[in-house]
Chains A and B, each alone.
Chain A
Amino acid sequence: MSPDIYIETGTTLKWLLTTAWLLPLAGFLIEVFGGYWSGRKSRAAAYLAVGCIATGFVCSLIALLTWIDAANLNVSDIWQNPGAVAAASHEVSEATHADHEHDAHHAGAEHDGDHEHVAPSHSEAEHHGHAVHGNNPLKFAFNGTFYTLAKFGSIQVTLDYYIDGLTVLMFTMVTFIATCIHLFAIGYMSDELTESYEDHQVHLPGGKHFHRPGRFYRFFSFLSLFCFAMLGLVLAGNIFQVFIFWELVGVCSYLLIGFYVERKSASTAANKAFIMNRVGDFGFLIGLMILWTWFGTFQFANTNPDQTGQQGLFQMVRTDTGEIETEGEGLNRVAYMQSLSGQRLMGNDGQARRIPYWLLVVAGLGIFAGCVGKSAQFPLQTWLPDAMEGPTPVSALVHSATMVAAGVYLAGRFFPMFTPEVLLVIAYVGAITAFIGATIALVVTDIKQVLAYSTISQLGYMMLAIGVGGWLAGLFHLITHAFFKSLMFLCSGSVIHGCHHEQEMTKMGGLYKKMPITCWTMWIGVVAISGLAIPITLPYLGAIAFSGFHSKDAIIASSLSFSTLNPTHSLLFFIPLITAGITAFYMHRMWFMTFFGKPKDHHVHEHAHESPWVMCGPLLALSFFAAFCAVGGESGPLAKLLLTSEPTHVAGGLQAAGNIGLNLPSHHDIHECHGQAGVMALLAALMGAVIAYLFYCKQAVDPALVKARFESAHRFLKSKWQFDEIYDAMFTRPVHVVAKWCTGFDREALDRFLHSCASLAVGIAQWDRKFDEAVVDRIVNVLGEVTFAAGRTLKGVQTGRLRQYVMFIAAAVVCLFVVLFLFLPR
């Protein structure tokens, strides 16, 4: 691709994605102001919101096609060589690093010489003994600035865009899922279309329910704002801008989780989500400060073809070969920053600019802390199940395309900044989260809670994959998970809607005849998330399986090769493997309990009905993608698209990296484990599914007996690993104790002091009053009395007789004359 076409493509993508990004904002503004006047029974807001997001989806789709065209991803060659995963990735890699020396395992990759250079390269400088190209650790991206917010000398805060394969894919995924959810919500939220909505869960004194005007338009305006925030986060070109939209996403989730604000549980859940996120964001801020202080920029990378302008964070941290150039050991270790042309970056004092390695680790951990909060990772996962208090479409949006996806997205986007130490932390946090989420999902009986915990568990999988160096696997799973999880949430919404807001699975059962579409679309989601497949490998298609199999397979393969390379961390392979089995079990348990077996509550069963088409349509659309979006597995189009934006250093792996000497697997290593890992994961999943079938469909074993046998374990899981209790004991109660002390101090010391001050003031005031009355008032009164007496005395002089006055005047004149003549000197 020549520079001209590069710029042209970049501009096209920029405008398409900006349109898709800003449309929901325009929609939000019109809905939130217009909705107020259009009345409570108008569906106009919903149609506007759907229109905005659907137009955004069309724009994103065009952008995706533009991208495929620009990246030279020939869709037809997906079918030619299903085995060679590496080949797919390296065609693009070649495009950017035409003269790059191949590692041994790349040798098989066919080099297409016609591909021109995207991140254009040939600087004359020699570095590390081979020709240096532009230092762009991300192979293929467009960036630029919308607007400069502030400028401090040479450093500036800007609103940027950064577009690569991941951005475009996320846009398409988010807008598509959001469109489906918007459509679904038109049906689901239709009972809000009233002047007087009765909230059955808010009990007023006197046994009545709370009545309020319907909030249809408000719901859709919040949804639009949510989409705007998420799309802005994905489009953002610098980490500070990400932070802005990060917070905006948080606010939107707060508004939507607390949508039924009159319910105590909903408002508490909204607060909990918001506060938990604050904890993570504190780390995020620390990371931001370190980056700002040491690097002086927030930008991800500068992809300018002529290598002018300022270098971005990724370019400063990584050399053109994707390494962090370090020196020294332990705490004295420093990392050298790199310039755009791939040399050491010189500061103003002529010294090479560098950053203490441990600060780089802290910055990475800080940013990851933000991801922990947003993506509900251990130990901040407790907000996510509570967030089920929001309406079900919100849960679907929060759990698939927006909120929680943001954390994983950022971990993937910021991957070049993470040192091996940070990656290890990410991997362990992910593994622990996956396991905790899956085990709790085993025992909960609320249909939405099962899905909530499965989300936590799957997010743990994604983080684990990113942590073990399976960048592709993590983000692959993010995309596929978004489809099948939003599908399953909408299905659960359909069930809840059909059962008149009954969420307990213990009251359902046998619904498959009543709602066949919901039942079978949900089956697709369940099979996808369980990672089930038919173990036959077809030529050109890979295994016959839904999307979840491919992505989970990739994750297990990554973790297997990681634990092979680092035997001390073999736990990172066994936890996800066991969790895969548990996942299959609890998902099938949910499906069987809801749709099969005997109806447990006849009242619910009799009134259950299939949902209207506006709700079933999105289910069918989503189930198509949940089934087939990952077709071809890691050599399929989706994975290829993702690979275009994979950081360069991932493909080759790392040996003995960082202070802890971690080995990260290369594409080749992962590919070698693929077969083995796939078989193990499939066996685990099949086992889980079969056990669930025996338990809940065939009734071969009575679950109640098992429950009684493992009573204490059940109680432990039912109380969600005691996390809420632990946090209560660790944070809430100490705060209460401190608060009690503070009140005591206030009462005993401060109040007493203030009260004595007050009584002193009262005493002074009383004395002052006496002085006023005795002295000041008396003087004033005497003056008044004197004046009054004088007036009274002089009153007699005024006779009112005119002729008398004239006589006085005449007499006075005569007197004056007499005096004048007598005394005036002649």
Chain B
Amino acid sequence: MARKSANKRRRRKSAEGTSMNAQQGYKEALLELAKQKEDIAVLSADSGKEFAKHYPNRFIQCGKAQNIIGIAKGLALEGKIPFANACVTKNFESIKESANANIKIADMDEEKEDTAIACTLPITVIIPADYHEAKKATIAAGLQKGMAYLKLGKEKTAITAEKTPFTIGRVEIMRAGKDCTIIACGKALQDALHAAEKLSLQEIECTVLNCHTIKPLDKHAIITSARITGCIVTAEEYTGLGSSIAELLIQHYPVPMQLSTAEATSIAKAVKEVVLLKCESTCPELPEEHGKRLVSELHPEVYFKVHGGGIIKSIPGLKKALLEMKDETFSHHCNSHKNDFSKWIREAFKEPTLAEEIEKTKTKIGMAAVIDRWMK
């Protein structure tokens, strides 16, 4: 309960913070950066009036020119730190040829393919979630060497706060839970948090990672989280995050995984599916690994008799049965008047804590997850 309300409080607080978007964060950061470093220059294909007003000598207006990255490369050769408006789908050739130059690219287009294509190049790729994160990402990109690519959206989401830490290539843990890891970036981060909150009401606790840097990935943190929660869902409005993480996990720590779009309902659905897959895959291994009392079979007269046929002999057996159980059967045993499973665990196994947790849970997957957690 305490954690839930803390999560809620955090969201409310950051939502009040701003009504500005990532693109505005980028523009403000440029002014701050320019104050710190005199090598900052801005090249704009038609969107940089604010910077031009303050630093006319460090601003180059290219109109709609497609050669903006070529120009930026020339500036970088002379020791400047150029920030240029460009888009991977339009400027791929020049971006590829300049991939080792100290150029920062701000992509304000809405093309979804850009981010995945950018990931094919040896450059840093960042998808900031909101105004504050875009601001921090821009400054961090300006201070590190090499090409960085920022995908900046128009949505006025407000997820992070001014004080939220930000390091390129490091995930931020937005929420912790043991059942599943949701990895999100950009606007999808908000949807991921909404989904996690909804799932929490159904006793599925999710870890939510803010993976703003999709290249290079925070490999250690992602693999660790896959290890702890045993399954992964990625959520993004663009492309590249899901495929990059799938590429990482398949090589280092394969777990059930799904790729989702940026809608809370699709994310929640994906989470339920991977949690189920995880439970199914861990079920048969449990008896050997865990304490005798938990897994031991009962005397036949205290077997759980399933409505409509079938018996359950042990707690792992219950978990397995729950995952396969029809909804009608489940609601026969578990409804607003009673919870047969909780009662059975309390009486037959003398496990009041587990019984109590089961009592609070209202869904099949939720119960299976509770059992899973308890057995670990």
Q: Does chain A bind chain B? A: no
